[in-house]
Amino acid sequence: MVSALVLVPLLFAVGLFALLAAALTSQSLERLFSRIGWAAFDGPNIPVDIEREQTLRAAGIGEPYRIYQAKTLAYTSIGAVAGVIVGSYATGGLVRLVGIERLSELPGFAAVPSLMGDFSTLYFLLLLVGGGILGSSAAGVLYVIRWQVPAVRADSRARAIDAGMPRTVAFVYALSRGGMPFPKVMETIADNEDVFGAGAAEFDLAARNIDLFGADLVTSMRDISDRTPSDQFESFAENLTSVLQSGQDLSTFLHDEYERYREEAEDRQQEILDVLATAAEIYVTVVVAGMLFLVTILLIMGLTTGGTLVPIRILTYLVLPALNVAFIAYLSDVTQPIRGSATEESSEQTGVGVGAIPDGGVRTPEVRENVKRLRVHRRVGRYRRLLSNPIENVIDNPVLLLYVTVPLATLFVLMQTPSFLDTGAPLTGGFLDVRAVDDVIIQATLFVAVTFGIAYEIGNRRVQNVASSLPDFLDRLASLNEAGLSVVTSFERIRRTEMGSLDDEAQRIWRDIQWGATVEEALTRFESRVKTPSTTRVTTLLTNSMRASNEIGPVLRIAANQARADQRLKRRRQQETLTYLIVIYISFAVFLVVVAVIVLILIPNLPTAGEFSVENGGAAPIQGITAAQKDAYALVFIHAGIIQSALSGIVGGQMSEGTLRDGLKHASVMLLVSYLIFLAIQWVSANGGISQFTSVFGTIGLGV
């Protein structure tokens, strides 16, 4: 009973840390901490830090500074209390582990008389010091993290806004050129934030200032220029404010800004490509060649010193993955501007709009039942849409495939578990057959990665085909509209021409119009069928332009030029990054060849310790390695090749396309090749080794 009571404070501290972690996802807990902090730290009188307040606004965090600071102080206080308790337990455990019981036993206190008698007082002081150090550290870390989060969000939003500026400005220019008033342009952009990203969110703030607070257009634009985290958007908003105040031609200004941002996009992409070139050289030199050289040197050193198996394992299972993950994270940050800001899936409302309660706030039983039925209907409807056409849904969103393949792969691994428990194998470690374990894990990983890669590649090729045909489609539509034809007649004419991958879609659009749908409805259905970022932007632009005017020729020209510019940038990027991808594949091949040579030739021919003793009369200057160590070294090098192949594929895909999904495609290819090669190596080793095959080739005249 006493020992259980001793752990109560520790359990209390763990519960406090669990509450802090749960507050990240629970709005009710977050509101509770806000109330606690507001009451405990006198929220209305918290001094305002202007710089931090601006950071909160730039990050898009919808909380006033005082509430955010009060919540931060509540978090840090709770973290400090939990840290003090955990620190006290950690200090007590450390003291008991060392085994110090009296003051005279401490280093430097042997000649000092014990003024405290026994160790209890000093022990208590040590607990206070240890708890205070960990408690203050926990509070400081929580406080720093709380105020670093807005800065990181603001920086991320700034880069997202900068990446989408060419498309956002092109959209603004096209709508303005089509005759739409600028306040309506801002509202249209705000309504399509899922299409145009973070830049549209800035216009949404300006539109809300006008609608809710009665601000004029100039004041609202000046306000967002002050609060935006993007320097480019700030410059654009300030210049736009000057144009609106001076009464200059808005279309001319937007055209100039559109051309400027398009040129800046090309310059920015070239800068990113230069960075990727340097990163590719560093990756091949350090991660591939450097790690291979290091583990090979350690293998040779093992002949003279022995005991290098552990360092090689550390390099293989810890350092090599850590370096690759660091490069993956770095490439994700570098390639963010070239990935675009629009989402790849069309937006779809999934919430249930039942927030308003009629009849004076009283929700009747009938209303509650209707709400429940509505929620069930929408939940079931979502699954019905997924199951009605599973192949098409998987191609549109390959992540859905993981919900099936990952459980199947896990089940496969669990079913093979009895084969792991083979204590008679040489590499079991007394419990697991390592060779059986890695085979099953690699096979399960290949199943997940290859199926995902196939589905993603099919969908990606469809997206690329549609995107490549879109500029010509828009140009022809613009030519027909500028010739005086209506939008409906233009679609009727364009369906007769050759449009590549859009031929079938043009026929479907015209069929929808023939069956009574409006052009806007037909385009919306077209967007829902194709579901690509480029078509989403184009259909959004066309549907909003047609509401302002039936003469949409200039708008279509702008959209076609922007789509063509995007395609030109992408082709240039693919041509440049193809070189980096080839370098990654060549380095991967070299890595596999070297590992194969080491496993097939070098390790089997390494002399053992007994051979050295016999040759040198029992006094071997070189220790040598045992037969079991040879198997262990060979297994580590094979694992190094497997790990490097999977992670090199992800790095190569990110360099070439900029996304992890493309990386998984290349990783599955490299992993499959390396696995087949290492299976062949194991087969050769099991059938007498490379020397056996060399002698056979020599017998038939093919050897030397």
pLDDT digits (tens, 9 = 90+) for 443-480: 999 999 999 989 888 888 888 888 888 888 888 888 88
Distances (CA, A) of 169 to 185, 202, 368, 570: 11, 12, 46, 19
What is the structure's pLDDT at 105? 53
Radius of gyration of the chain measured on its C-alpha atoms: 33
What is the number of H-type helices and E-type strands within the chain?
31, 0
Residues of the chain below pLDDT 50: 1-2, 101-104, 109, 111-118, 341-356, 359-361, 423, 425-430, 618-620, 696-704
pLDDT at 369: 76
**Long-range contacts at 202-209 (CB < 8 A, ≥ 24 apart):** 202/161, 202/228, 202/230, 202/233, 202/237, 203/168, 207/183
Query: Which pLDDT score, from 0 to 100, does residue 447 have?
Result: 92
Can you give the pLDDT at residue 323? Answer: 92
Domain segments of the chain as ranges: 2-156, 162-265, 462-569
- Check if the beta carbon of residue 670 is closer than 8 Å to that of residue 584: no
Tell me if the pTM is above 0.85.
Answer: no
- Matching CATH number, 462-569, of 1.20.120, 1.10.3470, 1.20.81, 3.40.50: 1.20.81
> What is the C-alpha to C-alpha distance for residues 315 and 322, in angstroms, rounded to an integer?
9
The residue behind tokens 């960075």 is 275
Q: How far apart are CA 642 and CA 672, in angstroms?
A: 9
Give the Cβ contact number of residue 208 at 10 Å: 15
pLDDT at 99: 57
